[in-house]
Structure 1
Amino acid sequence: MNNSIKVRQMTDSDVELVYQVFTEHDIKKPRDYILRCWEQNVAGERITLLAFYQGQFAGSLHLLATSHYPYFVGNGIPEVNDFNVIPPLRNHGIGHTLIEAIENIAFEKFEIVGIGVGLYKSYGSAQRLYAKRGYIPDGRGVMYKEQPVDPGAMVCVDDDLNLYFTKVKP
C-alpha cells in the first residue's frame, strides 16, 4: 500500500469536507446526498470509505448492503457504489487502494460482491480497474436504470446506462 494514501470510514464531521471538495472539482454530489450517505452509514445500510492523499481528501467509495439493482438484491449481493477520485489526484493508486479496502470489508461478510459501471469514455479508467481486479460481467447485459435494455431499444447514454459485474471472494 502507498504510504501517502490513508483510507478510513466516513464520520459525521466529513459531510461538509466531502461536499466542498467535490464541488471544487465539479463532482456533482448535492450536500443532501452526502448527508443521506452519512445517515445510511449510521443505519448500517451503507459503508462509506474516504481516501486521503498526502493528508488531503482524495476520494470516496461506498458499499451498499442492499443494491438498487434487482439481480443483486435477489441474490444478496452487496454493491460497490459511487466511486469518486478527485481528478488531479488520479493515477496515484488512490482508486486501487479504495476498492481494495472496500472489498476487504465486503468479503468479511459476503462471498460475492457486485459493481456497476457506466459505458461512456469517462468510465474508461473504472472499467479497466474492475477488469484488472477480477470483476466479470454478470451476464445479464446492459441495464438502464437497473432494468434490462432490449435489443433495438433506444436509451440515453448517461450515468444510468451500466453493465454490472461481480467478483467472488478469493
Structure 2
Amino acid sequence: MKDDTDKFVVAFEKQGWHKPFELFEEYYKQQTHNERKVIVAALNDQVCGYVTLLDKTYTGPFSTESIPEIVDLNVLIKYQKKGIGNKLMDVAETLAKQKSDLVSLAVGLHYGYGAAQRMYIKRGYVPDGSGAWYRGKQLEQYSNCMNDDDLTLYLLKILVKVEPFITVRDAAM
C-alpha cells in the first residue's frame, strides 16, 4: 500500500477527484497498527482501485457493536464497469466474515453514489432502518442538511447463508 500512495494520488487527481496524500498515509499507518485493512486492486502494475475495512465501526448505528465496516470503496473511472468493485467487495466481505456474520457500510445519497448504491443492493445489503445520517449523526425528521458526501444511509449484510426452518414438500408425497 505504501508504494501505491503516490500512484493513487496522481491517478485520482488526473480524473478530477481530490484524494490527498495524507489520506493514504493515514490508511497505511492504521493498517500497520491493525486498525484498518486496505485492499488494493491492480492490473499490470497499475492501481485500479481500493477499499478499506475496519474491524468495527466507530460512528453510525452500529458503533456500540462489533460489526466490521467497509469504508471508502473507490475504483478509478477508466477501470469501472469491469467487475473490480465487486472483486474488492468480495475480498472485504471475506475478511469481515473472519470477525462477524454481519458487515456494514454507509453510502452517500446523492447521484454520484448511484452506481455504488445499486451494487450494494445487488450484493444483498439492506438499509438498517435508522434513516439518513449527516456528518456522523442521525438526522431527526425534517432536519436541514446538505446533499453532499456527508449525507449517508447505513446498510447491513448478513454474511452467512440462513437455512429456512420450514420444509416445503411435494403434494404427491
The reply to whether residue 114 of structure 1 matches residue 67 of structure 2 is no
Matched positions, count:
160
Match of 1:74 among 64, 70, 78: 64
Q: Say what the alpha-carbon RMSD is for the aligned residues.
A: 1.2
Which residue number in structure 2 is paired with residue 158 of structure 1?
A: 148
Counting aligned pairs with the same residue, the percent is 33
Unaligned residue ranges in structure 2 (runs of 5+): 161-173
| TM-score normalised by the chain length of structure 2 | 0.88
Matches of 2:43 and 2:121 in 1, distance apart?
A: 24
Matches of 1:16 and 1:127 in 2, distance apart?
A: 28
| TM-score normalised by the chain length of structure 1 | 0.89
Give the 5 Å matches for 1:2-151.
10=1, 12-151=2-141
Q: Which aligned segments of 4 or more residues in structure 1 are displaced greater than 3 angstroms?
A: none
Q: Which has the larger radius of gyration?
A: 2
Which residue number in structure 1 is paired with residue 171 of structure 2?
A: none
Secondary structure of the 1:122 match is: helix
Name the one with the larger helix percent: 1
- Could you tell which deviates more after superposition, 135-144 or 47-56? 47-56
Secondary structure of the 1:13 match is: helix
Q: Which amino acid counterpart does residue 84 of structure 2 have in structure 1?
A: I
Q: Which amino acid counterpart does residue 150 of structure 1 have in structure 2?
A: E
Contact 2:103 2:157 in 1 (8 A): yes
Matches of 1:132 and 1:55 in 2, distance apart?
A: 30
CA offset at residue 27 of structure 1?
2.1
CA offset at residue 54 of structure 1?
4.5
Secondary structure of the 2:63 match is: helix
Matches of 1:22 and 1:146 in 2, distance apart?
A: 25
